[in-house]
Amino acid sequence: MAINIGETAEELRPATAGPEGGQVQGPRAGWRLAISSFVENRLAVVGTAIIAFFVLFCFAGPVFYHTNQTSTNVINAFVSPSGSYPLGTDANGFDELGRIMKGGQAALEIGFFSSLIATVIGTLVGAVAGLLGGIVDSALMRFVDILLSLPLLFVILIVGDRYNGATVLNLSLIIGAFSWLVSARLVRGEVLSLRVRDFVQASRTMGATRTHLIYKHLIPNALGVVIVNITFQVADAINLLAILGFLGFGLNYPSVSWGDMLSKALAYLADGYWWVVYPVGICLVAVVMAFNFIGDAMRDTVDVRLRRR
Amino acid sequence: MTAYLIRRIGISIVVIVGIALLTFVATHVIAPTPGRAVLGDKATIAAVDAFNRAHGYDRAVWAQFGSYLWQLVHGNLGYSYKLNQSVDSLIIENAPHSMWLSGSSLVLSILIAIPLGIFQAVKRNSVADQSITAVAFTAYSMPQNFLGILLIGFLAISFHVFPAEASQNEGILPYMLALRANFLPIMTLTITAVAGYSRYMRSSALDALAQDYIRLARAKGLAERTVLRRHLFRNASLSLVTLIGLSIPALLGGNLVVEYLFNSHGLGLLFINELGNEDFSTVIALTLLAGIATVVGNLVADVALTVADPRIRIN
């Protein structure tokens, strides 16, 4: 690095310095740093905008755009997109645009709830395994390995078939109950690597209790990984829901989710009713993509902070 | 290295026994005694009990688990009362179709993903790279059924280039030869796989390109193509080895969504049909098989990575 005569000591310090030698953390540390680095990623902003749009569209949309979603009107079935029906009607005469809004509600709800359940269980199990170590850790991890070896789709289909998986709550529980495995592994890895870090050792030397360690040091530092994982879990849950609905294990009529709307897609396409198939699919892809964008950006954010340490 | 292998195999065996235990518990909870299901609703209770006793379903649970394990070791996966066939024969009938679809899409996706990743890394941030990333990302975010629906919608229904249904041939040789009929299912699987691989392949190739040995190779005066072929190719493919190992389970587990969509008679479609038929012995046997395939696939992936990457061996 070339040194110019005119530079002050301030400018000579490397830009990525942490709190060394008494330097006080500037205002761009911590959460502010994370948020500003997140916002710099254009795709993440696009992703957030897309999700905000869909949340408003699905939940606030029906308030402004009234359609009849309960009583069928079979005479009007399969009307192609025209004046009073912007996206046409479906097999029962329901307005397709209203149907997409309603389907989106269920899809987003199940996506969020299931990933919340999965992350809570996974974080708890992973943290316990990482902290306690030894036999508990090995046993838990073997258990996770065994469950992970079974194909997720098969297991969920079997459970969904036996235990009425036809409501939003049940589907969220079923999907969440089998998706916690990956978060458990991630959190365990994070806790294991945090345990041996200097600041944890220092805190322990100063006499910190285990509870203090968990709440003040381990959980806040593992939070980054957990949040990244939640985002990808929501994307995966919505994908899984689409597949489940397609295979016929979705919600019961008259509630609907985006996946269910695709279950007879081939028949509709063969008859030429493209408006019942393509718009739903595009919404599905857009939402999952948005969550993937955000997850990627968050992962970069968390990694950058780790690198700067 | 051998110590690692032995430990790894030991862990795999434990996991397989654990999976067998899980599936046995599931069978026991869902359908503990098939007597009623086999003999029907009109059979007397005495007849049902006699059936159960004759087939050993009234023994203690751990005794039943023991004989279950014994059967598994001998390759007997159970009997399907709904289809009146042993599960083994069902699997032998349907597995080749699944394996052909999975196998050909695996080979195709490797052939496409590796050069694509290297191309993207070399032409980093160009228009070509960014558009490929965009397309791969979109395909990655699509549920597999919608990708299939799109392909069918455009290529089969609108433009009649390919048929919408996979080949219905029972024999495996005619099935493999029906290339036009099976093109869409294989393409769906390949696109999904390439979309998943390309993210890793691109970053792995980028990492490898930044290494010093590439600079040295160029400094020595080697042609760019030789540099790529001799040095970049092998090192960048390492991350793919693990991914491929993780794709092996699909070879035996069946591709549920694609087979259901294209009506291809493989293990996945068998699973769905038997689930609807309440034929739990088949369903759970298939899950067990897929579980074992996953464990074996992970083991193969680990070993392959250890063999391919000497750095892991030394560490």
Q: How does pLDDT run across B113-133, given as a tens digit for each residue?
A: 888 888 888 888 888 888 888
Q: Note whether A267 contacts B: Cβ–Cβ < 8 A.
A: no
**Closest by Cβ to B141, choosing from A154, A278, A292:** A292
- Mutation site, B17, B146, B302, interface A, largest A CB count within 10 A: B146
3-class secondary-structure state, position A95:
strand
DSSP 8-state symbol, A83: S
- Minimal C-alpha gap between B126 and chain A (Å): 17
- Among residues B178, B179, B186, B116, which one has the least CA distance to residue B151? B186
Better-predicted residue by pLDDT, B115 or B56: B115
The Cα–Cα gap between B214 and B211 comes to 6
**What is the chain A residue with the closest CA to B21?**
A146
> Which residues in B lie closer than 8 A to residue A245 (C-beta atoms)?
none
Model confidence over A169-193: pLDDT tens digits?
888 888 898 889 888 888 888 888 8
The pLDDT confidence band at residue B282, using thresholds 50, 70 and 90, is confident
Cβ-based neighbours of B54, under 8 Å, separated by 6 or more: none
Model confidence over B173-214: pLDDT tens digits?
888 888 888 899 999 999 998 988 887 888 788 888 888 888
Quote the pLDDT of residue A50.
Answer: 92
Quote the pLDDT of residue A307.
Answer: 47
pLDDT of A8 higher than 70: no
- Among residues B22, B16, B28, which one has the least CA distance to residue B61? B28
> Which residues in A lie closer than 8 A to residue B257 (C-beta atoms)?
153, 243, 246-247
> Which residues in B lie closer than 8 A to residue A142 (C-beta atoms)?
11, 14-15, 18
- Among residues B166, B193, B188, which one has the least CA distance to residue B177? B166
Query: Residue for token digits 């849950």?
Result: A237
> Which residues in B lie closer than 8 A to residue A162 (C-beta atoms)?
30
Please say whether the dihedral angle defined by the alpha carbons of residues B89, B90, B96 and B102, taken in this order, is positive or negative: negative
**Closest by Cβ to A142, choosing from B18, B22, B140:** B18
The pLDDT confidence band at residue A282, using thresholds 50, 70 and 90, is very high
CB contact under 8 A, B253 and A154: yes
CB contact under 8 A, A158 and B140: no
The pLDDT confidence band at residue A235, using thresholds 50, 70 and 90, is very high
The Cα–Cα gap between B313 and A284 comes to 44
Q: Which residues pair with A95 in a beta bridge?
A: A89
The pLDDT confidence band at residue B241, using thresholds 50, 70 and 90, is confident
CB contact under 8 A, B146 and A154: no
Asked if B173 contacts B100 with a C-beta cutoff of 8 angstroms, the reply is no
Quote the pLDDT of residue A113.
Answer: 93
Comparing A245-259, A294-308, B197-211, B253-267, the range with the smallest average pLDDT is A294-308
pLDDT of A17 higher than 50: no
3-state SS, B97-155, equals HHHHHHHHHHHHHHHHHHHHHHHHHHCCCCHHHHHHHHHHHHHHHCCHHHHHHHHHHHH
Asked if B270 contacts B286 with a C-beta cutoff of 8 angstroms, the reply is yes
- Minimal C-alpha gap between A242 and chain B (Å): 7
Better-predicted residue by pLDDT, A164 or B244: B244
Structure tokens at B161: 């280039």
**Closest by Cβ to A277, choosing from B140, B143, B149:** B149
> Which residues in A lie closer than 8 A to residue B152 (C-beta atoms)?
266, 269
- Minimal C-alpha gap between A44 and chain B (Å): 14
> Which residues in B lie closer than 8 A to residue A155 (C-beta atoms)?
287
pLDDT of B55 higher than 80: no
3-class secondary-structure state, position B252:
helix
The pLDDT confidence band at residue B275, using thresholds 50, 70 and 90, is confident
> Which residues in B lie closer than 8 A to residue A292 (C-beta atoms)?
137, 140-141
**Closest by Cβ to B146, choosing from A158, A262, A292:** A262
**Could you report how far apart the first and last alpha carbons of chain B are, in Å?**
10
**What is the chain B residue with the closest CA to A160?**
B275
The pLDDT confidence band at residue B315, using thresholds 50, 70 and 90, is low
CB contact under 8 A, B153 and A154: no
- Mutation site, A257, A266, A292, interface B, largest B CB count within 10 A: A266
- Minimal C-alpha gap between A281 and chain B (Å): 6
pLDDT of A164 higher than 80: no
Q: What is the pTM assigned to this prediction?
A: 0.83
Quote the pLDDT of residue B200.
Answer: 80
**Closest by Cβ to B294, choosing from A142, A149, A288:** A149
- Minimal C-alpha gap between B270 and chain A (Å): 12
**Could you report how far apart the first and last alpha carbons of chain A are, in Å?**
21
> Which residues in A lie closer than 8 A to residue B291 (C-beta atoms)?
149-151
- Minimal C-alpha gap between A241 and chain B (Å): 9
**3-class SS shares of chain B: helix, strand, coil, % to 5:** 80, 0, 20
Size of interface A-B (CB pairs under 8 A): 111
Cβ-based neighbours of A17, under 8 Å, separated by 6 or more: A23
Q: Which residues pair with B6 in a beta bridge?
A: none
> Which residues in A lie closer than 8 A to residue B275 (C-beta atoms)?
157-158, 161
**Closest by Cβ to B149, choosing from A157, A162, A262:** A262
Amino acid at A70: T
pLDDT of B34 higher than 90: no
Model confidence over B136-147: pLDDT tens digits?
989 989 988 899
Comparing A32-41, A155-164, B152-161, the range with the smallest average pLDDT is A32-41
Comparing A211-220, B32-41, B142-151, the range with the smallest average pLDDT is B32-41
Quote the pLDDT of residue A114.
Answer: 93
CB contact under 8 A, A150 and B22: yes
CB contact under 8 A, B143 and A259: yes
> Which residues in A lie closer than 8 A to residue B30 (C-beta atoms)?
162
Q: Which of residues 107-166 of A touch B (CB under 8 A)?
A: 142-143, 145-151, 153-155, 157-158, 161-162
- Minimal C-alpha gap between B229 and chain A (Å): 30
Amino acid at B291: G
Amino acid at A296: D
Asked if A85 contacts A79 with a C-beta cutoff of 8 angstroms, the reply is yes
> Which residues in A lie closer than 8 A to residue B138 (C-beta atoms)?
285, 289
pLDDT of A5 higher than 80: no
pLDDT of B297 higher than 70: yes
Domains observed in chain B: 18-76 (no CATH), 89-308 (1.10.3720.10)
Better-predicted residue by pLDDT, A24 or A147: A147
Query: Residue for token digits 């980028």?
Result: B206
Quote the pLDDT of residue A26.
Answer: 54
**What is the chain B residue with the closest CA to A273?**
B153
DSSP 8-state symbol, A89: B
- B254 dihedral zone (left: phi>0; alpha: psi -120 to 50; beta): left
- Among residues A230, A224, A231, A229, which one has the least CA distance to residue A292? A231
Would the ipTM clear 0.90, i.e. be above it? no
- Minimal C-alpha gap between A280 and chain B (Å): 10
Quote the pLDDT of residue A53.
Answer: 92
Asked if A107 contacts A287 with a C-beta cutoff of 8 angstroms, the reply is yes
Model confidence over A49-100: pLDDT tens digits?
999 999 998 988 888 877 777 777 777 778 777 777 788 888 887 888 888 8
**Closest by Cβ to B15, choosing from A145, A246, A285:** A145
Query: Mean pLDDT over all residues of chain A?
Result: 81
Task: Answer whether the bond into residue B115 is a cis peptide, omega within 30°.
Answer: no
